[in-house]
Amino acid sequence: MLYCTDAWCRCLTLRASGWPAVVGRGKSPRVTSSAGCSLSSVLWFWAFCACGLGSGLTSTVAKAGPPHVVLIAIDDLNDWIGPLGGHPLAHTPNIDRLARRGTVFANAHCQAPLCNPSRSSLLTGLRPGSTGVYGLAPSFRTLPALARHPTLLQSLRQAGYRTELGGKIFHQAPVPQERDAEVDLWGPGFGPGKQPAAKLIPPTPMGNHPAMDWGPFPHADADKGDYQLATWACERLKLRPADRPLLLAAGFFLPHVPCHAPPAWFARLPTDDTLLPPAATLVRGELPRFSWYLHWNLPEPRLKWLREHDQWRNLCRSYLACTTFVDAQIGRLLDAIDEQGLTDNTLVVLFSDHGFHLGEKQISGKNTLWERSTRVPLMMAGPGVAAGAVCQRPVELLDVYPTLCDLCGAPAPAGLEGVSLRPWLVDANAARTRPAITTHNRGNHAVRSERWRLIAYADGSEELYDHASDPHETRNLAGLPDYAEVRAEHRRWLPQINLPPAPGSAHRVLTYDPETDLATWEGTAVSRESPIPE
């Protein structure tokens, strides 16, 4: 039985804010509401043809019919996968095979280094600064401006797709009475599945959050939420409609903490220091104090705690093991696509919502504007997509929405802030001037071009890194006059819309008042003299 989406999230967010854990992890029934899409085939045909005009790719699609879409989301997976080379011990044979038959975006970045704002951005096609969604709350559907905003899933549904969703695609699923408006079928919720009777690691600082746990313990693969999600997704492929294309969205939970897996998944991994990220990544260097404000007081332990409690290797090993486990579940889904004869007419899109630190920059977790938090797996395979290609151009998860509209012949609503990736799916080396922009809380942005990363914080402090010579971001060049022009070039891409936090914003929300030079983290004032929490 899977954990209830809402209860699990609430448990995470309440504990993250330092509240008592008043909400347990309730068991949820499978959400089985279903509403058939009633669009006529005539409407579908009209919408599809209207969008395919002038597009060579969609002309090809038109002959073969619109592709099915399998949208695979992974939670908190950084670049420790084979195609991105983030860790030599990463073992992801199934993601590797998907990469071989598609295009890998090796310089892809999330719009926010946190679940809710990242997923809200991907689903709405809007940047965090344009929605005011920066924290783990609110759900964007509670905001009047976004209550009826068409999501990616709704746009494809409107164009004739049957849409089915399982696991974690939304950070918070809409309330039950509004779910039928989102997709045709809701599958299982998300969660880790079976848990050990007690935490496997010592109590962690900053609240001893129940999700801060990792390691092997005896249980079956089938006990895990991600296994059950893959089973459901494979079944849905078999039951696909005969008269329309299917959009199947499956959102996997691991390697999000708690990183538990059955012992067999750890067997291939060593237990020594080869598990650890490169030493160069640990450097924090001469950084603006404001960089600490973005992850001021969180349940994710700092590197200091991991070292003192001999948990650093265990965390890295567990993260790698859980990544291999989730890769195997994705493999089951890819096998099902092949077995159903759908490979040639199915667009597979795989992404993670943001990266994850495992000691880099002295912390674990996300909530930063560095490469470790912003770089994400993003790859696509299927009709019209070049095979075995690697694109080094900076791209954004924001681009997924217009890309799918483009490839699937669905009208894209006005105002989407990303662009279709079709040019780079055809030719990975096509030119692109747009950088990738990540935002974390109001007025803090990273601008990632092919070579550089500029970080501009709300208090005016900046960081600049040259990825050509400094891939681990150890030397902040922002203060050097030689780089004034580079900084200016990147600053011109900073988003001009920076809405204040939306009503109901909570959990990991930071604000800053330039008049007083005071920041506020989770309702607590933070000054230049406040000691950094550990």
Question: Would you say 76 or 164 has its CB closer to Ca ion?
Answer: 76
Q: Omega of the bond prior to 258 within 30 degrees of 0, cis? A: yes
Residues 357-416 that bind Ca ion (CB under 5 A): none
Q: Which of 11, 51, 110, 115 is catalytic?
A: 115
**C-alpha dist (Å) from residue 343 to 40, 67, 100, 265, 329:** 26, 10, 13, 28, 17
Question: Helix H segments across 340-414?
Answer: 371-374, 400-408
Q: What does the DSSP assignment read for 146-159?
A: TTTPPPHHHHHHHT
Q: What does the DSSP assignment read for 157-226?
A: HHTT-EEEEEESSSSSPPPGGGGGGT-SEE------BS--SS-SSPPPTTT--TT--EEE-S--GGGBHH
> Is 226 among the residues that bind Ca ion (CB under 5 A)?
no
Pick the piece of the chain touching Ca ion (CB under 5 A) from 73-81, 142-150, 371-379, 436-444.
73-81
Shortest spacing between CB 232 and Ca ion, in angstroms: 21
Residue nearest to Ca ion (CB): 115
Structure tokens at 97: 């095979």
Draw the binding track, 265-304, toward Ca ion (x: CB under 5 A; -: no contact): ----------------------------------------
Pick the piece of the chain touching Ca ion (CB under 5 A) from 134-142, 345-353, 433-441, 457-465.
345-353
Considering only 6, 76, 399, 406, the residue that binds Ca ion (CB under 5 A) is: 76
Shortest spacing between CB 71 and Ca ion, in angstroms: 15
Q: Omega of the bond prior to 138 within 30 degrees of 0, cis? A: yes
Shortest spacing between CB 425 and Ca ion, in angstroms: 25
Question: Would you say 327 or 353 has its CB closer to Ca ion?
Answer: 353
Task: Examine the residue annotation and report whether 115 is marked as an active-site residue of this protein.
Answer: yes
Draw the binding track, 165-184, toward Ca ion (x: CB under 5 A; -: no contact): --------------------
Question: Would you say 103 or 374 has its CB closer to Ca ion?
Answer: 374
Pick the piece of the chain touching Ca ion (CB under 5 A) from 209-217, 272-280, 347-355, 508-516.
347-355
Q: Omega of the bond prior to 255 within 30 degrees of 0, cis? A: yes
> Is 353 among the residues that bind Ca ion (CB under 5 A)?
yes
CB 264 within 8 A of CB 331: no
Task: Examine the residue annotation and report whether 171 is marked as an active-site residue of this protein.
Answer: yes
Question: Would you say 353 or 360 has its CB closer to Ca ion?
Answer: 353
Shortest spacing between CB 8 and Ca ion, in angstroms: 13
Report angle CA 73, 323, 134 to the nearest 5 degrees.
45
Structure tokens at 96: 């590797």
Shortest spacing between CB 505 and Ca ion, in angstroms: 17
Structure tokens at 408: 């699937």
CB 86 within 8 A of CB 455: no
CB 125 within 8 A of CB 410: no
Question: Would you say 352 or 476 has its CB closer to Ca ion?
Answer: 352
Draw the binding track, 109-138, toward Ca ion (x: CB under 5 A; -: no contact): ------x-----------------------
CB 76 within 8 A of CB 356: yes
Pick the piece of the chain touching Ca ion (CB under 5 A) from 91-99, 264-272, 348-356, 436-444.
348-356
> Is 75 among the residues that bind Ca ion (CB under 5 A)?
yes
Q: How far apart are CA 329 and CA 223, in angstroms?
A: 13
Give the H or E element holding residue 102: strand 102-105
Footprint of Ca ion on this chain (CB under 5 A)? 75-76, 115, 353
Report, as residue numbers or ranges, the catalytic residues: 115, 171
